[in-house]
Structure formats: structure tokens, C-alpha cells
Amino acid sequence: MTVDFKHHQSAHCENGVASNLLINQGLQISEPMAFGLGSGLFYVYLPFVKVNHAPAISYRPLPGLIFNRLAKRLGLKVKRIKFSNRAKAQQVLEQKIAEGIPCGLQVGVFHLPYFPEEYRFHFNAHNLVVYGKEGDNFLVSDPVMETTTILTPNELERVRFAQGAFAPKGQIYYPVQLPQTVNWECAIYKAIKKTCRDMLAPVPIVGVKGMRMVARAIVKWPKKVGGPKANHYLAQMVRMQEEIGTGGGGFRFIYAAFLQEAGNKIGNTKLVELSKEMTEIGDSWRDFAVNAARVYKKRKNGDDVYVSLSKELMSLADREEQFFKKLKKAI
Amino acid sequence: MKESDVPQDKSSLKENDIKELCYAVNEKGEYVTALSSGWDTKTIVQEATLHQIEERILEAKQQVREGIYSPIVYFMELNRMDMQTLCAYVSMWKWRVKRHFRPSVYNRLNDKILQRYADAFGISVAELKAFTGKE
């Protein structure tokens, strides 16, 4: 049993799954559009949570939130089911495929056999689509891969019931009830408003304030935790920004692509203009990553390199503050 | 990022024949998708992470050999787990797992408990018991 399903590669798993699922249901929506409408751009610094033995920095909201917000703005419903029983989880999935519904699945990355070693961590908020079964094996469309793949039932069970933070608990989800018409203008404005509010939030660890807090912390790291650990923190920060399927520059390029598409769609030239500025900010994030990685590679560094990194991040925060204030006015 | 600037460096992705999707601007200023085979900056931080894991594994191995910790610590590091992840996989509380880190306590564990750890690490109980950190 196979469902007719077209696989599109994407930069980030959650937007990719959202976009793939909706396109297959007949609602044309690109990955940047799904990301933007889901208000996916975010920044949060959680110094008290350690990921890979370094303070957690996230460039996106909690897993699942992007798709939920997207669904809300488009006026469609998403059904989510979690399981405690493993056999039941598989049975329901098989049943949904038999009914011709491709399902989005939340899975853990560590046991995914087709991922390279360098990407396999206990990160449990990865998303993929199961769209069929061939013999015993499940047909899988993982949005970050170029082509579709297959997983054996055992492998699939293992990744669906990965444990730890954000344990997926075999979660499956699929859209039900698609809207007849979509009010794009309203959806886009609401989504942008939410992103502006997030990034300019008066909370010290969120948005541009979060960036400033990190910038201040970078200067203190070498004294507080020692050189090697400070460099490890920096390396993890760059990993979060560039590696975890962000499409480059901590999602800034996807967001710029969204602004361009949205601006053209609803005929708002201001958004198209601002898209260019976002691209420039994204480029500066890439430069920041290059400099931070260089500090790591050199190993022995004076205090001044941390100060200059901190300044770079401060200026990024300033630019983004200006940017989101302008964006708020543009809508 | 311009389309022509999308990095095509050597990386672990290239070895596995995987390409990553990026968003970049083409000559007309429109956003397009482009495939990247890897980026040196990313490779540096990835290697950094792997290097650190390697160090933690070696350190844990030595500690097991010297009898400071039980083999559970070694396999935890080998599987890139932290405390929280391990506790969730064996469904035990943190203080209990921590207690099992002590060789004197670990040596008295029954097979039922050891089986839970072995399952979490994807090995057999015999393999878990056989590990001494010496080879």
C-alpha cells in the first residue's frame, strides 16, 4: 500500500513536513511560506539548560509550534495522536496509510540509520513523513534528504519511541479539514506581527534581548569556565545556528525568502525591500559563525577575540531590533 | 547569501552523498533554493563536537579501568547520552542511576536491571558485564 506522495527536499524538518503534507493535500505552500506563517523565526537563550554540555540557544520555537500556528492561520485542523503502546502506534500508522493519509511523525535522530554519524545526537524533535509500506518496510520521506528512504518496522519503532527531552511518544499528525479559501493577507500580517512581538519581547532571554545577554556572556565565559570550555560553548552555538537544518544563518535566509514571497503575493513592496535587509543580516550571521569557528580552531586566544565576537553579536542584535521595528510598521 | 556563494566544501555530507538545501538570492534578486555539499565552518564545529565526545569516552574508559565508575558511565558516553536521556531510556530516577555509577553498587545489580541498561545501549548483558575498560 502506497499513497501517492511527492517528496520535496527542504532545509528544515518541521517546515518541510508541513509544506510537504499540505502540498500533497492540494494546498500549494512553499517551505519559506510555511516557516513564515508559522512564525518560525525566534531566538532564546537558556543558560540553565545544557545541551551537549553547553548552554542551550535555540533559533526556533518549541517543536510542533510552527505547524500548529501555521494551521491556525490557514484555518485548517491538525490531528495529533500520541501513544503509550508501541504495537498500537504501529497499527494506527498502518491504518492511516491504508486510508490513504500520509502522516507526519515526530522522531528521535540518534537511531536514524541513514543519517551520517556527525548528525546523530539525542535530539528528539525531528520530523518526517511516512507515506506507504512496501512489504514489511515503511516508505519514508525525510524532508532534509534529497530522496525518499525506507525504514524497517523495528527501526521506525526505535526512532518513534526515542527517550529523553521532547520524547516523541510515537506521535503522528496529519491535517484534517482543509480550508476552502485562504485569506493570505490576514494570515501573513498576523504571522509577521507575532514574529515581531517575539523578537522584540521584553524578556531578557528572548529575541534581541536574548542575543544581547549571550553577547555579554561570551566575554565572561573564558574567565568563568576556562578557555577550552568557552570555545566548546562557541562551537555549540555555531552548530545550533548553522547545522540543525536552519537553511543558513539561523533561519534568517528562509525568513527573507518568506518576506519576498509574501510581499509579492499580497503586493506589499515594503516587505520585498525588507527581505533584502534580512538577507544582509543573515550574511552577517554567517560571518559571525566564521569568526566564532576561527576562534575555536586557534584554541589559544586572548581576551580580545571574545570581546570582538561579543561586539559582533551586539551589533547583530541592534540591527535586528531596528529591522523588526521597521517590519512592524510595514504591515 | 548569493546563489554563487553557496558553499561547496568537503564535509561528512559529501562522503555520504547527501546534499543540504539552502536558500540564496540569484542574480535577479529572487530567492531560490540551492544544494550545498558542506561548509568548512560547519565542519570545524562538527569536528569540535566529535572531538569532545571522543575525549569524554576516553576519560570514562579510564575511570572504569581505575575502578572509579562502573561501565554504565562508559556506555552512556559512548552512546552520546547525558543523565536525563539515560534515565528516560532505563526509566529510573536520577539518584538511582547515579548510585549505579558506583562500582560497588553496580557489581551487585541483578540481570533484570542490567538488561534495562543493556537495552538502552543496544548491547547484550554479557557485553555489558564483560567490559572492564582494559582492552
Q: Which sign does the torsion angle of CA A23, A101, A108, A48 carry?
A: positive
Torsion of CA B118, B121, B122, B128, to 10 degrees: -40
- Can you tell me the distance from the alpha carbon of A202 to that of A196, in angstroms, rounded to the nearest whole number? 12
Q: Which of A122, A124, A251 would you mutate first to test chain B, the one with the most B CBs within 10 A?
A: A122
Question: A176, A207, A237: which is the final residue of a domain?
Answer: A176
Q: Which residue of B has its CA nearest to A254?
A: B23
Tell whether A280 and A313 lie within a shared domain: yes
Q: Where are the beta strands (DSSP E) in chain A?
A: 44-51, 54-58, 77-81, 103-107, 126-134, 137-141, 149-151, 172-176
Question: Does the beta-carbon distance from A257 to B23 stay under 8 Å?
Answer: yes
Contacts of A237 (CB under 8 A, 6+ apart): A54, A57, A214, A292
The boundaries of every CATH 1.10.260 domain in chain B are: 55-130
Question: Does the beta-carbon distance from B45 to A239 stay under 8 Å?
Answer: yes
Looking at residue A1, its pLDDT comes to 61
Nearest residue to A165 via CA among A31, A38, A46, A15: A46
Contacts of A198 (CB under 8 A, 6+ apart): A39, A41, A42, A61, A206, A207
Tell whether A144 and A194 lie within a shared domain: no
In this complex, the residue of A118, A167, A290 whose CB is nearest that of residue B46 is: A118
- Can you tell me the distance from the alpha carbon of A27 to that of A253, in angstroms, rounded to the nearest whole number? 23
Task: Count other Cβ atoms within 10 Å, centred on residue A277.
Answer: 17
Residue A321 maps to a domain = yes
Residue A213 structural domain: 184-330
Residues A153-168 have a mean pLDDT of 91
Is it the case that residue A264 has pLDDT exceeding 70?
yes
Question: Does the beta-carbon distance from B82 to A110 stay under 8 Å?
Answer: no
Residue A56 maps to a domain = no
Residue A69 maps to a domain = no
**Contacting residues of A for B52, CB less than 8 Å apart:** 53, 232
Tell whether A297 and A250 lie within a shared domain: yes
User: At how many degrees (to 10) do helices A207-225 and A303-330 cross?
Assistant: 170
A19 and chain B: CB distance < 8 Å anywhere?
A: no
A156 and chain B: CB distance < 8 Å anywhere?
A: no
Residue A152 maps to a domain = yes
- Cα B10 to its chain centre, rounded Å, is 22
pLDDT band for position A283 (50/70/90)?
very high
Lowest mean pLDDT among A21-30, A244-253, B44-53, B78-87: A244-253
Residue A67 maps to a domain = no
Question: A157, A176, A195: which is the final residue of a domain?
Answer: A176
The CATH number of the domain holding residue A162 is: 3.90.70.10
Tell whether A189 and A170 lie within a shared domain: no
pLDDT tens digits, one per residue of A85-122: 999 999 999 999 999 899 999 999 999 999 888 888 88
Low-confidence ranges of chain B (pLDDT < 50): none
Tell whether A245 and A321 lie within a shared domain: yes
pLDDT tens digits, one per residue of A299-325: 767 778 899 999 999 999 999 999 999
Tell whether A254 and A137 lie within a shared domain: no
Residue A51 maps to a domain = no
* 3-class DSSP assignment, residue A107: strand
Question: Does the beta-carbon distance from A253 to B22 stay under 8 Å?
Answer: yes
A231 and chain B: CB distance < 8 Å anywhere?
A: yes
Tell whether A97 and A211 lie within a shared domain: no
Per DSSP, the residues of B10-52 read --HHHHTT--EEEEEE-TTS-EEEEEE-B-HHHHHHHHHHHHH
Is it the case that residue A244 has pLDDT exceeding 70?
no
pLDDT tens digits, one per residue of A42-68: 999 999 988 888 899 988 888 889 999
C-alpha cell belonging to residue A63: 517543536
Tell whether A107 and A154 lie within a shared domain: yes
pLDDT band for position A248 (50/70/90)?
confident
Give the burial class of A126: count Cβ atoms within 10 A of its Cβ; 0-12 exposed, 13-18 middle, 19 or more buried.
Answer: buried
Nearest residue to A43 via CA among A271, A232, A313: A313
Residue A50 maps to a domain = no
ipTM, two decimals, is 0.86
Tell whether A211 and A126 lie within a shared domain: no
CA distance A252 to chain B (A): 9
- Can you tell me the distance from the alpha carbon of A292 to that of A288, in angstroms, rounded to the nearest whole number? 6
Is it the case that residue A225 has pLDDT exceeding 70?
yes
pLDDT tens digits, one per residue of A171-205: 999 999 888 888 999 999 999 999 999 999 999 99
CATH class of B55-130: mainly alpha
The number of folded domains in chain A is 2
Residue A44 maps to a domain = no
- Can you tell me the distance from the alpha carbon of B60 to that of B68, in angstroms, rounded to the nearest whole number? 9
Question: A176, A192, A220: which is the final residue of a domain?
Answer: A176
pLDDT tens digits, one per residue of A211-223: 999 999 999 998 8
Tell whether A232 and A311 lie within a shared domain: yes
